[in-house]
Amino acid sequence: MQTDSIGFRHELARRAVLEAIQPERVRALHAQVLPILAQHGTDPARLTHHASLARLGDAVLEYAPLAAKEAARLGAHREAAAHLGRALQYASAVTPQLRADLLERHAVESSLANQTREAIASASAALALRRQAADLEAEARVLSLLSQEYRSIGEKANADECVSGAIRILENLPHGSALAMAYSWRSLLAVNRGWDREALEFGQRALALAREIGDRAAEAHALCNIGGALLGTDDRAGYEPLERSLALALEERLEDHAARAYRTLLFYAALTHDFPRARQAFQEGVEYCEERGIFSHSAYIRAYYTPCELDRGEWARAARMASELLRGSEATGVQQRITLLASLATVRLRRGDPGADELLAEALELAVPTCELNRIGRVAAARAEQAWYAGRYAEVARETELGLRHLRGHTAPWIHGELLFWQSRVQPVGPIAERIAEPYRLMLAGEWRSAAGAWERLGMPYERALALAEGPEDALLEALAILDGLEAGPLASIVRQRLRKLGVRGVPRGPRAATRGNPAGLTAREVEVLRLLVSGHTNSKLAKRMHVSSKTVEHHVSAILDKLDVHTRTEAVAAAFGLGIVKPDSSTSPAVSQEPR
């Protein structure tokens, strides 16, 4: 017993005591303690807790908004949304204006907490009340919020209708911050779709008005969109306004705008294959967002980083990240899911592993309604690539045409180049457009050696092998070594066929032959690691036993977890027995081919 409270040694004991008290008595006790705590200046969150359990609506309405404000200040946006949700349970008793205020605040906090459906529900209810009150500026503000939430779930028509409605209202009112932000929101929708001209037009309108009225938040938002629009056309000058946006948001402590700047910076660094910049944006952005509870942006940042790992040849890491995010509850946005599905599917199709078809079918179904050319183009390119490996050339033409159709009238050098490259595998592509990313322009022009050099400078081994695969014997052998290192079975098989047609003898068989004895596609080295894991070896013991570094062991273990589609070593061991990779009667005898490595 303490002087001012009672403590329990165990949580089970506390629960047992609580459950022994009748519900009516529990409510009475909470009601009794509430005014005492309020007199002692207890924090609003605790007061909200007792008021909620006492079912005292007036007290909840008094304390929950205060608790939400403090939680939001501390970056606990999920907690803030929960507090406001409690207040809304009793909001029927308050004025329509106060109810609208609570609903709008709940929508904002839910949005930041990555609770998109809840944000849409509350914002829609707030919108109806704002319209009833003929509060035009507030109506436009809620419409702007709704436009981005609808975009997150892939509802293009609703997103467009909301932002256009906001602009129509605000252009007939004295021009101010709300109109600057509405212009910027429209710019952002265009940026996301790759519509660079519209994005720049409305971004510049937003920036000019923001600077005229001295609105730093709208200025940071507009600069972010302008930078994204320029980078989407591969104009590296876009980094300057984007980095100014980030610096301004950090300086003014505009947390949502700073998080959006990190997210945009990563997306375009990944799109243009600027991996050092992408890595920095990923690390700083995730840390910034998660420290402040801005999970809506951190989820995007994590999803957008998977293509970087894929392009760098870190396929096991890319697949693991994508799998974990797809299985979890964090990546709820349609754009996030499309990115993750495409990354995971591309790893699988390039390895020749099963499961890519289903992933790409879902990705395409989600991507087309968004009208976002980067999403559609990326999925279409992956589907064309898979069809080419399988010799389904009519499908290659159909998938590339789908992607190219969405690009018409827009400038997207990297996606455009990738789609044209795969189209060129099955049919002539005609004159090469000027705005094509340089490595693809070189490949389309048949300058395979220069293209391979360009891909090497970017740090993209698979694309380098694709270019080398168009060359003579020495280039083909170099491509094969890269592909075997990546375990890129389908393309490696094509390269081997080309070498044999040239009469080359002693073509390396590659690592895939050593994996035929197990159904998970593990290499012989990975099976050796798994066998030692089954025997209970730690990383340090594995490194010593195998005469490699701990980092190399970590890489092998990560690859094993990904291929077995598990999260822990214990699950990997169970999967090894379940798949027959390790026999139950002899845990040290894996089912693997004994062909030489």
Residue 12 has pLDDT above 90, yes or no: no
pLDDT of residue 563: 78
CA geometry: angle 457, 459, 460, nearest 5 deg: 115
Query: In angstroms, rounded to a whole number, what is the distance separating the alpha carbons of residues 364 and 403?
Result: 11
Residue owning tokens 């509350």: 122
CATH number of this structure's domain 515-590, picked from the four choices 3.40.190.10, 1.10.10.10, 3.40.50.2300, 3.40.1170.60 = 1.10.10.10
Residue 588 has pLDDT above 50, yes or no: no
The pTM of this model reads 0.76
Confidence of residue 11 (pLDDT cuts 50, 70, 90): low
* 500 and 492 Cβ atoms separated by less than 8 Å: no
> pLDDT per residue over 256-278, tens digit each?
999 999 999 999 999 999 999 99
Tokens (6 digits) for 202 = 């409305």
Taking residues 73-85, what's their average pLDDT?
Answer: 91
CA geometry: angle 432, 460, 444, nearest 5 deg: 15
Taking residues 467-481, what's their average pLDDT?
Answer: 95
Query: In angstroms, rounded to a whole number, what is the distance separating the alpha carbons of residues 296 and 152?
Result: 10
The residue ranking higher by pLDDT, 372 or 207, is: 207
C-alpha dist (Å) from residue 192 to 133, 290, 335, 416, 485:
33, 23, 10, 16, 35
Residue 328: helix, strand or coil by DSSP? coil
> What b/e sequence results for 235-267 when a residue is b if at least 16 CB atoms lie within 10 Å of its CB, and e otherwise?
eeebbebbbbbbebbbeeebbbbbbbbbbbbbb
Percent of the chain at pLDDT exceeding 90: 60
Residue 15: helix, strand or coil by DSSP? helix
Neighbouring C-beta atoms of residue 497, cutoff 10 Å: 11
Contacts of 52 (CB under 8 A, 6+ apart): 60, 64, 86
> pLDDT per residue over 542-570, tens digit each?
888 877 777 788 878 888 887 777 778 87
Which range (42-51, 95-104, 513-522, 572-581) has the least confidence? 513-522
Tokens (6 digits) for 332 = 């709820």
3-state helix, strand, coil in the chain (%, to 5): 75, 0, 25
pLDDT of residue 395: 96
Helices (H) and strands (E) in the chain, counts: 31, 2
pLDDT of residue 97: 94
Confidence of residue 354 (pLDDT cuts 50, 70, 90): confident
pLDDT of residue 579: 54
SS (H, E, C) 65-77: HHHHHHHHHCCCH
Dihedral angle of Cα 373, 357, 150, 120, to the nearest 10 degrees: -160
The residue ranking higher by pLDDT, 489 or 590, is: 489
> pLDDT per residue over 200-259, tens digit each?
999 999 999 999 999 999 999 999 999 999 998 889 999 999 999 999 999 999 999 999
Reference 166, options 202, 114, 118, 217; nearest CA is 202
Domain boundary assignment for the chain: 371-444, 446-508, 515-590
Residue 500 has pLDDT above 50, yes or no: yes
pLDDT of residue 29: 85
Residue 581 has pLDDT above 70, yes or no: no
Q: What is the mean pLDDT of the chain?
A: 88
The residue ranking higher by pLDDT, 7 or 459, is: 459
* 127 and 138 Cβ atoms separated by less than 8 Å: no
Phi, psi of 471 (to 5 degrees): -95, -170
> What b/e sequence results for 380-411 when a residue is b if at least 16 CB atoms lie within 10 Å of its CB, and e otherwise?
bbbbbbbbbbeeeeebbbebbebbbebbeebb
